[in-house]
Structure formats: structure tokens, C-alpha cells
Amino acid sequence: TYSLKLAFIGTHPPNSAYGRDMIPKRKFSDLLRTVGSIPGLDRLRFVTSHPRYMSLGVIDAVAETPSACENFHVPFQSGSNEVLAAMGRGHTREKYLQIIDRIRTRLPDASITADVIVGFPGETEEQFQETLSLMEEVVFDSANTAAYSPRPNTPAAEWDNQLSEEVKQDRLRRINELNLKHAGERRSRMMGRTAEVLVEERNVKKPTQVMGRTTHGFIVYFDGDIDELRGKLVNVEIDMCQTYYLCGKLVGVVEK
């Protein structure tokens, strides 16, 4: 018996616009609840949630839908309101932290990942420190980091307040150090737990192992036969935590 998983990809516009043209109107949170009630659906996942469009009701829907994975990818890009405005992101630091607070309140064990850019034109050291302070306040499970680079046909590429590569790379180095520290801290809480894992593939680096993911989205490696376990939900006792993956021992297949 295989497990059924469904993922919505690129959902940030529907978080705001989904269902507006329906009669009666619907919300993205309604869609999550409806799809989440499909018989036999074991996991429901969605990415990405743009903070400009994301409603707090989406978090409530995840908390109240058993098949919904406790994993939120919410890009923040910068912790400075001035930089966010210059980027045209349409949200503030305060709005972002309101979303995080609701996640932590409704789903204390949820994983939260994000995207962040450093070195945007005109970004000061003080504004960069605001990004670091937001990361310290949230403690992300992981973040996709990047230094700003000009893109053709974008307004910022023509601005005359571009930062030097030296400054951008220094800020990227500092933010990556913090990101790695937090990623390790967040995965270390899994030590000793028995986690439900959906088996996906063979571990290409160690063929006697298989790879799967927890409801948090954490990668887990453990000894097992991929031909027997692929697509199944299993319980794994976590006995090693690394920065970006976990290892453990197979306890058994989850009985449906």
C-alpha cells in the first residue's frame, strides 16, 4: 500500500486571489481544508507563501487539517522596512513577524523556511543588522540566501547606489554562518524522536539506505530496501542530527 501525497507549488497568488471569482467566494484556506479531507490523502504540502498575500487563516487551516504538513516556506528577503519598500515587496517586518507568531502559536513544532537577499542597492550596515536580528528572532529551520545581483530590465539594476562585491560577499558570509547555526539547532530537537517519514528514493551515496522526509520537510536517511519501502509511511527513530539532514533506524511501516 502506497501513501498519497499532494503538493501545491507556487501558491502565493492564490493565498490572496484563489476563489474570488467563485460564487460563493472561496479562500485558499478553504481549498486546503477541502483537499485535506480527501480519503486516503496522507500528506498535503504547499509552497510558497508570500507574506504580502498570506492570510492567517491559511495557518489555521494547516493546524486543523491532519494531512497538512507542518512546514511553511515564507520568504522575508530583508528585515529592514526601508529595504523591503525599495524592493517593492509589499509587506513589512511587523506583518512578517505577525505571520510567524501565528505559526508558532498554532503549530509550535512547525518548520519555517525562507528566502533572503543581502546587499540590495543602498542597503546600509544598520539595515543589514535588522535582517540578522529578524533571523535571530525567528530562528529558521533553513533559509535560501543570496547576494543581490543586477537583473536586466529591473529598476534596481539602474540605480547608482550599488554595493561593492566585497561588501555583498561579506554580508552573505555572515548571514550564511547564522543560517547554518540555526539549521543545526532546529534539527537537533529531533534527536531521540520517532518521526513519521515518507520514503522517496534510495540514498545515492549509500545504496543500502533510503531517503525520506518528515512532515517538517526534513530529509532522513536510514537503512532499508527502496524496492520495498518506496512511497510508504514509516516510523524512524532519529539517532543523528546534522545541519541539513537526519539519520535513524527503521521502527516499522505505519499501519493505515
pLDDT tens, 169-179? Answer: 999 999 999 99
pTM, to two decimals? 0.91
Distance CA 243, CA 254 (A): 27
pLDDT reported for residue 73: 95
How far, in Å, are 13, 16, 46 from residue 10 at the CA level?
8, 12, 8
- Rounded to an integer, the average pLDDT of 7-33 is 71
- Which of these ranges, 28-32, 87-91, 131-135, has the smallest mean pLDDT? 28-32
Burial category of 194 from C-beta neighbours within 10 Å (exposed 0-12, middle 13-18, buried 19 and up): middle
Nearest to 110 by CA among 74, 146, 76: 74
pLDDT for 14 equals: 46
CA atoms of 140 and 149, how far apart (whole Å):
24
Q: What is the pLDDT of residue 3?
A: 61
Question: What is d(CA 108, CA 97) in angstroms, rounded to the nearest whole number?
Answer: 15
The β-bridge partners of 223 are: 209
Of 61, 117, 58, 111, nearest to 89 (Cα)?
117
Q: Indicate the pLDDT class of residue 26, thresholds 50, 70 and 90.
A: confident
Model confidence at 20: pLDDT above 70:
no
Whether residue 100 has pLDDT greater than 50: yes
Note the pLDDT of residue 256. Answer: 72
SS3 content of the chain, % helix, strand, coil (to 5): 35, 25, 40
Cross-strand pairs, 220: 212, 246
Residue 4 has a pLDDT of 63
Measured between alpha carbons, how far is 143 from 182 in angstroms, rounded to an integer?
Answer: 9
Q: Classify 82 as helix, strand or coil.
A: helix
Distance CA 13, CA 230 (A): 33
Distances (CA, A) of 21 to 14, 25, 127, 248: 12, 7, 40, 47
Helix (H) or strand (E) holding 102: helix 93-106
Tell me the pLDDT tens digit for each residue of 130-171.
Answer: 999 999 999 999 999 999 999 888 899 999 999 999 999 999
pLDDT of residue 159: 95
